[in-house]
Structure 1
Amino acid sequence: MNSFAQKLRAMTDFHPVAWGVIIGTFLSRTGFFMTIPFLGIYLGKGKGIDPATVGAILAASFLVGTLCSFVGGALSDRLGRYPVMIAAMTAWSATLLGFAFADEVWQFFLMSSLNGLCRSIFEPTARALLADVTAPERRTDAFHARYFAINIGGAIGPLVGLKLGAGSTSSLLPFYISAAIFAIYAIVLVIFMLSFKHTLQEKSSGTPMNQMIRIVFSDKVFLYFLIGNVFLAGAYSHLDTTLSQFIGHDRVEAYSFLFIINTLSVLVLQYPLAKLMKRFSSLTALKAGCLLFGLGLFGFGLFDNLALLALSMVVFTAGEILSFVIGDVLIGEIAPSHLRGAYYGASGFAFIGQSACAWFGGILLNVLGFGQGPLIFAILMLLTFIAYPFFHRGQQLWERRLGHSGTDQMCHGMELTKS
């Protein structure tokens, strides 16, 4: 408790804009989870849409979000963080209202696509803004606070949504309230833009989009991180897909219990892990996260005992925390300040791994059967471990780059001394 209290006191010196991003993340995620997790139920039971079409509608959001992930961050580098965030949040609010008024299948496809688009524009821009206003030595704390807010919103949102009738055939109240939350946050962002505009460059140097793409995707350190992250994003996807099918098909209560353990583990482990991993580089933390992710996955298939499954979930969640929080910190370290949004946006391409690995997990269950848990999850563990050599190679290049930077600075200092 003393450590947690110290952490809270240390967080009070975050920049006001950083607090705006963190609190806004909590509010927006609460509103998001009040509605979107229940959208499939609403479309199927409320609108009578067949399951295959419902799946396609939901998939449209992920597809558009992944394909457009670079655009939002890159736009924020050119136009400024605040204008892009305000526009995205305003459009997101209108999209949630659109779900309430939509009645035709094509309209739901459109709203789902817009939902993915708005999220892909807002999220990398918000992360870039948080990195912009936070000193490098405090970014780990700031991104941990943001991740904490995400999980609190993810825990509260569904409960509030259920209370308001989310997923029922007639209640549209959750859509209205979520839209109102997003609209209020857009107004708050306007206030922050007017109050703290001087703390950020309003625009970048005007780097053309094609040049941004060339710079970002020629950064070998970032590319190795991105490829490794494809496999980590895929590992995380098994929580909602492969694991839910494997355990949930005959032990729904056990799966619900494990989901609760996941949420509690995030809240309990986040700050101790943050303190521990400050002793190591970001890529070392990612390699540790990769190993923990894989070991946790293997435990899901190996054990039947609920306590051991819970232990596996704790290990899995530790990997989740290290991989996603430290990954955000790493991008802030390697990205040039004027292209930070583009780097955060490009990192979204890693979530291709979510759809690919979720599909692959389903294939394994279908081909090998539910009785082959150890084999299935051993394969998924090995697939996760593929990320490790990419992170290791990226770490070597990053350390070499830092070494060259230090040498250049030393030589520059010697020249100044001689002059």
Structure 2
Amino acid sequence: MNKSWRNMLALPQFHPVAWGVIIGTFLARTGFFMTLPFLGIYLGKGKGIDPALVGAILAASLLAGTLSSFVGGALSDRYGRFPVMVTAMAAWSLVLIGFAFADDVWLFFLLSAMNGLCRSVFEPAARALLADVTPAERRTSAFNARYFAINVGGAIGPLAGLKLGAGSAYPILPFVSSAAIFFIYALVLVIFMFAFKQQVQEKSEAVPMKMMFRIVFTDRVFLYFLLGNVFVAGAYSHLDTTLSQYIGHDRIESYSFLFVINTLSVLVLQYPLAKLMKRYPPLTALKAGCLLFGLGLFGFGIFDHMAGLALAMVVFTIGEILCFVIGDVLIGDISPAHLRGAYYGASGFAFIGQSACAWIGGILLKLLGFDQGPLLFTILMLLAFAALPFFHQGQLLREQRILPEHAPGKKILAHKA
């Protein structure tokens, strides 16, 4: 095998903890997608709960996750990444066991809220840990690997869940299997915690949580990123809300095919895009991703045939890759190491845009009807483009912040900082 092929096939040289996060992400997302996407079916078919109540139960997870996102990241700064991750993952496994055996509606509300809470506590800590142990020049590659793991888990999990009976009225085995995966991952994290204790900064007790909150939300670059990300998260939410209703109401096979296109596009395009976007500053990549999100949405409204819809999905997916991967890289770059968890946690507030835009899409469908696709998705495209001025202003501020740090007279390429 020649040298060029060996280089292509070689695994990236990440810290062992980074590989633990990436592989653990794959396992956790596989377990997550084995069960929780089918939760609505389980609650309606298996437990006979009213559809309106099912919707409210599912919404409790998103609400609890959004409201608690800052707390999870801040706790990982204060008490250490590993203790927070282990606690969240162990608790999450108990939540999944609870779903398998609960009967009362109030208990499902509690479990749904706990599901959102565990996820919002674990995710910022895991992303912060990945950034902690990865040098700045390799963070794009590390977060691309993590996102790749998420999508592979998202592809395998539902298939494994269906094989285990997740679509049935009583899917006890999938929930128990997912809980076992989460618990094993918690044990692996305990091993990593002791094995790499000296190499990972574990605590920052000198910074009270109130001060963390004040520091994070007075960082203007981060605030502009966060405001832009509200519209980005909103644009992404249309994939399984507005689009599912618009296409799925009479073309469910087409909608299912588009989901396959989305997954395949992520797996095929992610690494070439990562290599390309290393040449540009993160906020430039975010602006490009925002434009592509909007253009993809517009394509869903103007195309009727499958080839056009598939093209629109590819464009939409490129925007997804750029915004979500590069967004994580940007947070790692702009956040102080001792507050990185708080920054990643605070970024979860942007997902308010998911709830708001899903609601707006439903209202527009009701007002305009299913025969007004071009107008409907033009409006959604413009909402996605609303992120652009925030990302642009954040980029200007970041460049102003970087430039004074360089000595006068030196040639400065601020976008490479």
| TM-score of the two chains, using structure 2 as the length reference | 0.96
Instruction: Map 1:336-415; keep pairs closer than 5 Å.
Output: 336-407=336-407
CA distance in 2, matches of 1:177, 1:408: 60
Contact 1:205–1:338 (8 Å) recurs in 2: no
Are 2:15 and 1:9 aligned?
A: no
Match of 1:96 in 2: 96
Which moves more between the two structures, 200-209 or 220-229?
Answer: 200-209
1:206 Cα deviation from its structure 2 partner: 2.1
1:146 has 2:146 as partner = yes
Aligned to 1:121: 121
CA distance in 1 between partners of 2:190 and 2:76 (Å): 15
**Conservation of the 8 A alpha-carbon contact between 1:74 and 1:209:** yes
Contact residue 73 and residue 124 of structure 2 kept, 8 A: yes
Q: CA deviation at 1:202?
A: 2.2
Task: Give the distance between the partners of 1:112 and 1:194, measured in 2 at CA.
Answer: 32
**Residue of structure 1 equivalent to 2:290:** 290
For residues 202 and 61 of structure 2, the distance between their equivalents in structure 1, rounded to whole angstroms, comes to 30
CA distance in 1 between counterparts of 2:249 and 2:339 reads 46
Change over 3 Å in CA distance of 1:312–1:207 after alignment to 2: same
Shift of 1:9: 1.6
User: Partner residue of 1:215?
Assistant: 215
Once the two structures are TM-superposed, the CA of residue 200 in structure 1 deviates from its matched residue by 1.2
What is the distance in 2 between the residues matched to 1:404 and 1:233?
A: 33
3-state SS of paired residue (2:240): coil
Q: For the residues of structure 1 that align with 2:8 and 2:115, how far apart are their CA atoms?
A: 35
User: CA offsets per residue over residues 372-402 of structure 1, 9 Å max, x none?
Assistant: 0000000000000010010000000001101
Following superposition, the deviation at residue 204 of structure 1 comes to 1.1
The superposition leaves residues 129-163 of structure 1 with CA deviations (integer Å, 9 ceiling, x where unpaired) of 00000010000000000000000000000000000
* In structure 2, C-alpha distance between the alignment counterparts of 1:262 and 1:166, rounded to whole Å: 22
Residues 89-126 of structure 1: CA distance to partner in whole angstroms, max 9, x if unpaired?
A: 00000110011121100010010000000000000100
2:63 equivalent to 1:66: no
Give how far 1:323 is off.
0.2
Distance in 2 (alpha carbons) for counterparts of 1:202 and 1:108: 34
Please report how far the alpha carbon of residue 237 of structure 1 lies from its aligned counterpart in structure 2 after TM superposition: 0.2
Distance, in Å, in 2 between the alignment partners of 1:312 and 1:4 is: 33
Structure 2 distance, partners of 1:356, 1:226, is: 15
Letter aligned with residue 200 of structure 1 = V
What is the deviation of 1:349? Answer: 0.3
Structure 1 residue 8: Cα displacement? 4.7
How far the C-alpha of 1:47 sits from its partner, in A, is: 0.4
AA in 2 matched with 1:348: G
Equivalents in 2 of 1:179, 1:361: separation in Å?
34
Distance 2:409 2:100 in 1: 58
Match of 1:31 in 2: 31
- In 2, the alpha carbon distance for the partners of 1:3 and 1:246 equals 47
Amino acid in the other structure paired with 1:151: N
- How far apart are the structure 2 equivalents of 1:401 and 1:289? 24
- CA RMSD across the alignment: 1.5
User: Deviations 1:36-93 (Å, cap 9, x if unpaired)?
Assistant: 0000000001000000000000000000000000001000000000000000000000
Count of paired positions? 408
Can you list the C-alpha shifts for 1:150-188, whole angstroms capped at 9, x where unaligned? Answer: 000000000000000003112300000000000000000
Q: CA deviation at 1:405?
A: 2.2
Alpha-carbon displacement from aligned partner over 1:169-225 (angstroms, at most 9, x marks no partner): 123000000000000000000000010011112211520011000000000000000
**C-alpha distance in structure 2 between counterparts of 1:345 and 1:302, whole Å:** 37
Paired residue type of 2:132: D
Counterpart Cα distance in 1 of 2:159 and 2:39: 15
Q: Is residue 174 of structure 1 aligned with residue 174 of structure 2?
A: yes
User: How has the CA–CA distance of structure 1 residues 64 and 4 changed in structure 2, closer, same or farther, with 3 Å as cutoff?
Assistant: farther
| Change in CA separation of 1:234 and 1:135 when aligned onto 2, cut-off 3 Å | same
What's 2:414 paired with?
none
Hey, what's the Cα distance between the residues in 1 that align with 2:203 and 2:337? 12
Q: Does 1:56 align with 2:56?
A: yes
1:285·1:323 contact (CA, 8 Å) conserved in 2? yes
Q: TM-score, normalised by structure 1?
A: 0.95
Partner of 1:414: none
Per-residue CA distance 1:331-352 (angstroms, 9 max, x = gap) = 0000000000000000000000
